[in-house]
């Protein structure tokens, strides 16, 4: 049996640093809005309350976005058995289990805490992977739950959403008004803040995938199974219909493997390349 999943101090440090940098960035952003009297601070407070509700309901919203539903043991006994056993090995409460009816082979974890989490897999994933590969993917998602990745990425997304809201507000209600320069200043500040937060979140997101891969290996003890699963999923992504890719693109940050999106998509991807992930898993295999 593999050892209990250890705490990833490197990931924790990067998460803390990202949140601190984002908080400082947005404190300065709000300061700019106050100085230019942009007149939208009340709207930001309202939006913050709405996003707070979104955080509390994040698991339900994620499942709805994927058209997934929670399933009981009678429907998917093998999947429940895998999640239950690996949760014990990771020293986690067993999360809810959900399945999305789609040919796209993928999986993600949702929920605001370790005790309120859901692991979701697609029917395409269940049809694509063998038992060892499925266990490796489930272990990867449990590592995300253990590391509280979903909570951190949701909070980080809140900051980014605020900046995009201000940018759109300025464009709709004052973008063309030359006599109101404060709106232009707010729009420029919003754009800069959104770009910086975007880059910070992408850097953190790519590192957390490496950390979850290591966590999966710590749980299962089989790096080759996860490497094989990633390669199978990656190969099947080429067959994903364009419509499905477009509908599920907003979930990319939470998938085990993002939907492919061309050169620009790879440049700003939420995930490292499959090749680099497999290479690191092969290094772990040799060390074991």
**Residues forming the active site:** 141
271 vs 201: CA distance, rounded Å:
11
Using CA of residue 24, residue 25, residue 26, residue 27, what is the dihedral sign? positive
Alpha helices in 221-273 (DSSP H): 223-237, 242-248, 262-267
Quickly tell me which residue has 């992504």 as its tokens: 237
Burial class (CB in 10 A: 0-12, 13-18, 19+), 131: exposed
Count of C-beta atoms within a 10 Å radius of residue 240 = 18
Written as six digits, the tokens of 5 are 């999943």
């Amino acid at each position: 049996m593999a050892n209990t999943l250890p705490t990833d101090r490197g990931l924790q440090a990067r998460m803390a640093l990202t949140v601190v940098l984002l908080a400082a960035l947005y404190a300065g952003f709000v300061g700019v809005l106050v100085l230019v009297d942009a007149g939208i601070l009340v709207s930001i407070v309202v939006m913050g309350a709405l996003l707070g509700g979104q955080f509390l309901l994040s698991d339900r919203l994620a499942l709805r976005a994927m058209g997934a539903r929670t399933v009981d043991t009678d429907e998917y006994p093998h999947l429940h058995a895998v999640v239950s056993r690996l949760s014990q090995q990771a020293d986690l409460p067993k999360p809810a289990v959900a399945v999305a009816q789609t040919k796209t082979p993928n999986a993600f974890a949702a929920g605001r805490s370790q005790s309120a989490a859901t692991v979701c897999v697609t029917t395409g994933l269940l049809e694509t992977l063998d038992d060892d590969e499925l266990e490796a993917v489930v272990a990867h998602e449990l590592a995300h739950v253990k590391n509280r990745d979903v909570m951190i990425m949701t909070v980080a997304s809140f900051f980014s959403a605020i900046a995009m809201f201000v940018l759109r507000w300025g464009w709709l209600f004052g973008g063309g008004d030359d006599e109101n320069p404060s709106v232009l200043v707010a729009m420029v500040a919003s754009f800069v803040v959104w770009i910086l937060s975007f880059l910070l979140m992408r850097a953190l997101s790519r590192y957390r995938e490496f950390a979850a891969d290591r966590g999966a290996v710590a749980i299962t003890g089989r790096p080759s199974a996860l490497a094989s699963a990633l390669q199978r999923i990656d190969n099947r992504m080429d067959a994903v219909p364009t419509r499905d890719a477009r509908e599920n693109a907003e979930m990319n940050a939470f998938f085990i493997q993002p939907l492919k999106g061309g050169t620009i998509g790879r440049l700003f991807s939420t995930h490292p390349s499959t090749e680099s992930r497999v290479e690191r898993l092969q290094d772990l295999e040799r060390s074991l």
